[in-house]
Chains A and B, each alone.
Chain A
Amino acid sequence: MTTDRLGSAVAATRHQKDWFAQTTERARSGEPIALVNADAPHEILRALDIPYVVTQWWSSIIAAKQAGPAAMERLVARGLPDFSLQYDAMPLGEQDLPAEQRPWGGLPAPDFAIAERSGDVTQKIFEQWGERPGTETFLLSRTGADPVPARWWELVPRDWETAFGTDRLDLLQAELEELVAWLEERTGRRFDTGRLAEIMALGNEQAEWNRRTRDLIATARPTPVMVNDTMPAVMVPQWHRGTQWAVDAARSLYEDVAARVEAGHAVCTGERRRLMWIGRGLWTDLAMYRRFHDEFGAVFVWSMYLAIAADGYPRYGDDPMRALAARFVGFTDQLYVPPWSSDWYVKEALGHGVDGVVHLVADDTPGPGFITEALEAAGIPVLEIRANNSDARSVRAARIPERIAEFLSARVPERS
């Protein structure tokens, strides 16, 4: 058994803090910065050399520094809700916190707030950013997932016209062009398509390393790394997508994992059951991922963070703007819209040879039951848990560890 964290995970976490300090420094010295949603096309900002902070990542820092409730209270003071899409809204409240309560010194007011209009509320939150002095908002359309051809992961890297449909791509591409013009006008900078092509190529390289890492973990016996350790090692470089640093970070994750496989390293030497974790990370109880080693020899081998980084991002083509539109037009559909989501989870479960699945059902996605049903139909037992992943009370009420133990005893036989 090992409790050593992956070197690449530690390095990524450390880098992020340094990077934030540098970025806020640049902003305070008058350079424009942007606040963007996780599934907005960051590559445009990178091509224009506009540093950006990702809402969901910044929320995770605010929450980790225990500033979440105070930030939400600031929203309420302005008549805004504290119960609606908290993870997108928290940075808005953070802006109004007194200096000493702001994590890492706080986020300087961004010049640009950019998001896609997913759901009913994201656009409203980003509109609120634009009502603040010094910040302007740009919103992109978010079209519905139609069509949904089979085996999307084979189509999206090149045959994205089939995967997403030309109409949706035309719309997003035209909107990306509008965004470029909007940013050029405000920064006086010139957008360079050649630069975007380089950024896309680096993003693809990063995805290729993630794919190698994913494939290696899928076939390695026993499992060499903890799922919760690969999360930061994958996600932090994702916010730096399109840089050499991010490619190197993805590569060093691969090398760390390969070295462990080479050395016969096991997170649990008595591995007898391989498990898949579907849903967002259980941030309130990371130790839980290790809890079933001793009694059951049960190891979580899969989470969506690495797998989507492997399958969700690569887009190869001569027209970088079209490729970028294809990267984001249906990004969340890949994970959350059945049958795309359910087909993909089955493929990943089979590819990783899992014996059981714990499915933390997100209440913000449609048809979670279709995922469970598809896995069970493929002969893989599933435990469905309904709880809010970021709320400790909800997690306790759902008795997650107890139910996983019951599930392992009752439905997931040991491998010989």
Chain B
Amino acid sequence: MSASVPGPAAPRTATPRVGVIGADVPRQLVLAAGATPVRIFGSWSQPYSSEAAELLGAVDAVAARILDEVLSGAHDDLAGLVVCNDSAADLRIFYVLRILSERGRVPFPVHLLDAPRDGGAPRDRFVGRQYDRLVAFCESLTGERIDAAGLRLAARRERELGRALTALRARRRARECSGAAALHAYVAAATLPPEHAMAIVDDAASADARDGEPVFVTGSAHPEASVYRVIEAAGLVVVGEDHDTADAAWIGDAVDTGDRDEAVGRLAQRHAARPPLAARSRTRERAAELERRLAETDASGVLALVRELDDGPVWDLPGQRAVAERRGLPIASRARIAPEAALVEAEEVASALAGELAAAGQVTR
């Protein structure tokens, strides 16, 4: 599997895994420091403990599931954990885990990555300093120092994965891969060493992707594919999305330089140019991105599913609705989806949209 990748000079047992909560980590830097970034996702509907709920207060249930996974010991093999300030819920996870880590309740150090999204010199400078701290954190976990060769190798590995993901996106548009299969591949890309992930991404395909009406998904992020499966069982195919666990994940991007400071600075600028995510961007940017992605994916409809207490995406809905209407596309949405009702509500909304698309198809055909 990793035979084509030159190993590090020093002998070692296994590559340290660095846990990631949130979507803002510049993976190239983690890879270059000799670690594998492993994103922790949670899920739509798994139960979680009252301890996690009480520690976090009222937040998106996915955050409670992530915290619960960490507290249950499911990720005790991690060398360290990076938590992004990419949503209010993730920031709360950091505050809670910082204390629990100091108490030894979790067996690894916890680090905040705080990367404002607006671009411009003051923010780019701050993000660059945050990346410096991230590098120092990863180096402290792996005992390796980032050097020119490491940066270039990490760029190559990350780019290869990026190329596989680009091909995957093309297969989705060509209706050769379902949204559920694509989401599974994205999860692999975010959790496995790039070479292993690439094999899974390359294999992601599904014959039945031809059968449904192509739709674009916005709203809350999908930590796993259960809701996508329901949507696609209703006669739709998810050909693209703007949330951070799939098309808007920051995976596959890297900068070509052997100079660490330059890499940090250029990655900070790349960060500012990423697709806007609901919790940290303006509705205007989100609507413009939706417009761009709808044109690219040629979707016939838009589906917006928003979980209870994940309020960022709710505020984007009027702006997104205007975009869909301008393009003559139906948009079906549901806000405040309760954890236990996710699959049922997704089925209702998807069926309604499928019905609308079928009716429209009969009129035009």
Contact = CB atoms under 8 A, between A and B. Distances in A.
The answer to whether A and B come from one shared complex is: yes
Contacts of B112: 144, 146
A127 B311 contact: no
B92 interface: yes
Given A123-B282, A124-B282, A363 B315 contact: no
B338 to A, nearest CB: 13
Given A120-B87, A124-B283, A170-B126, A81 B55 contact: no
Contact of B114 (A119, A124, A143, A368): A143
A174 interface: yes
Interface in B50-104: 54-58, 85, 87-88, 91-96, 98-99
Interface residues of A, number: 43
Interface in A91-132: 117, 119-121, 123-125, 127-128
B317 interface: yes
Contacts of B330: none
Contact of B88 (A119, A339, A362): A119
A265 to B, nearest CB: 39
A117 B279 CA distance: 10
Contacts of A367: 55-56, 92, 95-96, 99
A79 to B, nearest CB: 4
Nearest to B85: A144
Contacts of A128: 283, 315
Contact of A120 (B93, B94, B116, B280): B280
A180 to B, nearest CB: 13
A366 B56 contact: yes
Contacts of A81: 311, 314-315, 335
A85 B55 contact: no
The secondary-structure label for the interface of chain B is helix
B57 A363 contact: yes
A117 B55 contact: no
A370 interface: yes
A126 B112 CA distance: 26
B316 interface: yes
Contacts of A171: 116, 122-123, 125-126
Interface string B316-345: 111001000000000000011000000000
Contacts of A79: 317-318, 321
Interface in A338-360: 338-339
B238 interface: no
Contact of B54 (A125, A167, A369): A369
B312 interface: yes
A337 interface: yes
B118 interface: yes
Contacts of A255: none
A78 B278 contact: no
A175 B315 CA distance: 25
Nearest to B55: A367
B58 A85 contact: no
Interface residues of B, number: 45
A171 B318 CA distance: 32
B145 interface: no
B283 A121 contact: no
A38 to B, nearest CB: 17
A10 B116 CA distance: 43
A141 B118 contact: yes
Nearest to A124: B315
Contacts of A175: 122
A84 B335 CA distance: 11
A143 B85 contact: yes
B311 A121 contact: yes
B282 A127 contact: yes
Given A144-B112, A167-B129, A78 B318 contact: yes
Interface in A56-97: 78-81, 83-85
A277 B336 CA distance: 32
B142 interface: no
Contacts of B118: 139, 141
A174 B121 contact: yes
B105 interface: no
Interface string B262-289: 0000000000000000111011100000
A400 interface: no
Given A117-B280, A127-B284, A363-B58, A144 B311 contact: no
B130 interface: yes
Interface in A138-154: 139, 141, 143-146, 148
6 contacts: A79-B318, A119-B88, A120-B279, A121-B312, A128-B283, A171-B122
Given A83-B336, A124-B316, A148-B98, 7 more contacts: A83-B311, A117-B116, A143-B114, A146-B114, A170-B122, A171-B122, A364-B57
Interface of A: 78-81, 83-85, 117, 119-121, 123-125, 127-128, 139, 141, 143-146, 148, 167-168, 170-171, 174-175, 178, 337-339, 361-370
